[in-house]
Chains A and B, each alone.
Chain A
């Protein structure tokens, strides 16, 4: 966490403010309490999964399966609550199932040495299929009131799910900045070989990172299920792209080494504001997809330009030195 991070975050914040000003000029409905609240509520799910994705990308990995994990754990908790279990048990089992599925990803990546993209793309298909098979593609309606409260309730003026998202952000920040595990995962992202030589438990770190990403996806599953009062197999479709875009925009690099949860939060808010603003100024939703796709590619390109160049330079320097 150096000065460069702060600089980048200031840039993101400025971008967010400029976007806000632009949208409020284009529409009088944008800059209202209700709408700003709306943006935050809409962003809760992307924020939660993006924090998990931040840890993953910091290890030079990627998790394509979070959407499927979100769906399956959402179905799992809905099903258990429908079959007589309490809200707390349902939530616990849901989060546990997400963690188990994430651990499964981690095991494939750490123990079998298959690339994270391939493993999680594979499990994304498997988990999604399992969700469809289990529900026969029919949604599960009607959650208990105590559970629905999570999606609609407020603590004072603040919606509960915004509080949940904030807790996840603070937790992610704490892990990365203040714990051994956080530094270990950054070291693993920088160089697995060096981390191994220094006695960092590389495999355990990787498995834990994917387990946490799965847990975050399951937490997002709570939000989705509670808000819609429905669990369905197609929930969370395409959420991984949004998460990756938020993470990369936030300054966590595909090339490892740096991880910024605050950056991720800003990235997710930018995407949320963009979606909301475009809707308010009546841009049809298929154009929104286009805009988000372009933002995603621009963020990845910027990462490649900024960090990839540095990586190449380091490599050539090392080659020239004969190392």
Chain B
């Protein structure tokens, strides 16, 4: 009975009307927006991947990004991570308009991403992957010759993997020999090691078992408590309701709904994802 009432209330309050990128949170001040992307368009040749998609990520929240296969979720995050250039639209970080031309630049803005395909080098080992692009060198010898500080990197990588409940017997073996879940753990460790302000997670638990999945969800909440703002793509609604504060629904390249998950029914969200309205 209560459920029906809540549903009725939400419906009558107009929250399910597609907002086409302009939603209520907008007027509540831009300062608490860590990331704002507006009117993002992206075409792959003839194919339209994103059409005036918008997203707002608030300080210290977990924003769930949901939608059907091929809706454009990954493309949106990859634009923010600097993998693809956008065809049009604006990106603001903490209210300041930025251009992101490369993953390097995105990283320097404090943005880290766990890619859907995990983006690991199969023939490199776990710590080489985790530290790829920003290796530690020996502090003493740094000025003379930049010799890699392998021991410290291996130790720290092993430790952060342990925190996820992954105990690698061979930290020096190529990651291609690891299981899918272990590989995903490596990718997740890589994104959180440098305490980024913004973390983009593209289906981070897709190939994990139950126990590992719980650990990853715990870690996401930990990272949020430590002050990171997080966008997480997921197809698992249970997982979404477990960790996300708000959700953004993307359909056929457009952002069609955004709002808090509190008091929301999973079925309604699912309907929105697949039908486009509740």
Contacts and interface: CB of A to CB of B under 8 A. Distances in A.
Size band of the interface chain B makes with A = 20 to 34
Contacts of A194: 119-121, 132
A180 B137 contact: yes
Interface string B30-65: 000000000000000000000000000000000000
Contacts of B173: 2
A230 interface: no
Interface in B173-198: 173-174, 176, 180
Interface string A164-190: 000000000000001110011011001
B262 interface: no
Nearest to A191: B121
A200 B133 contact: yes
Interface residues of A, number: 28
Interface in A79-104: none
Contacts of B81: 197
B123 A258 contact: yes
Nearest to A259: B123
Given A179-B148, A180-B137, A314-B176, A257 B123 contact: yes
B267 interface: no
Given A2-B173, A180-B148, A314-B176, A195 B122 contact: no
24 contacts: A2-B172, A178-B147, A178-B148, A183-B128, A183-B132, A183-B148, A186-B124, A187-B121, A187-B132, A191-B122, A194-B120, A194-B121, A195-B121, A196-B83, A197-B115, A197-B119, A198-B103, A199-B102, A199-B104, A200-B132, A200-B133, A257-B174, A321-B180, A321-B207
Contacts of B102: 196, 199
The 9 A-B residue pairs whose C-beta atoms are closest, nearest first, are: A257-B123, A199-B133, A190-B121, A198-B133, A199-B104, A198-B132, A323-B117, A194-B119, A180-B135
B123 A314 contact: no
B116 A323 contact: yes
A314 B180 CA distance: 12
A318 interface: yes
B74 to A, nearest CB: 11
Given A183-B128, A183-B132, A199-B133, A318 B104 contact: no
Contacts of B174: 2, 257
Interface of B: 81, 83, 102-104, 107, 113, 115-117, 119-124, 128, 132-135, 137, 146-148, 172-174, 176, 180, 207
Nearest to B116: A323
A256 interface: yes
Nearest to B206: A321
A27 B189 CA distance: 60
Contact of A190 (B83, B123, B146, B148): B123
Nearest to B135: A180
Contacts of A310: 176
A323 B113 CA distance: 17
Interface string A1-39: 110000000000000000000000000000000000000
Nearest to B176: A314
A256 B124 CA distance: 11
A258 B174 CA distance: 10
Interface in A196-216: 196-201
A191 to B, nearest CB: 6
Contacts of B128: 183, 186-187
Contacts of A187: 121, 124, 128, 132
Given A178-B147, A180-B146, A197-B83, A257 B122 contact: yes
Contacts of A321: 180, 207
A257 B107 CA distance: 24
B121 A257 contact: yes
A193 B102 CA distance: 12
Contacts of A258: 123
A257 B133 CA distance: 16
Contacts of B103: 196-199
Which one of B81, B119, B132, B146 has the highest number of Cβ atoms from chain A below 10 Å of its Cβ?
B132
Contacts of A257: 121-124, 174
B123 A256 contact: yes
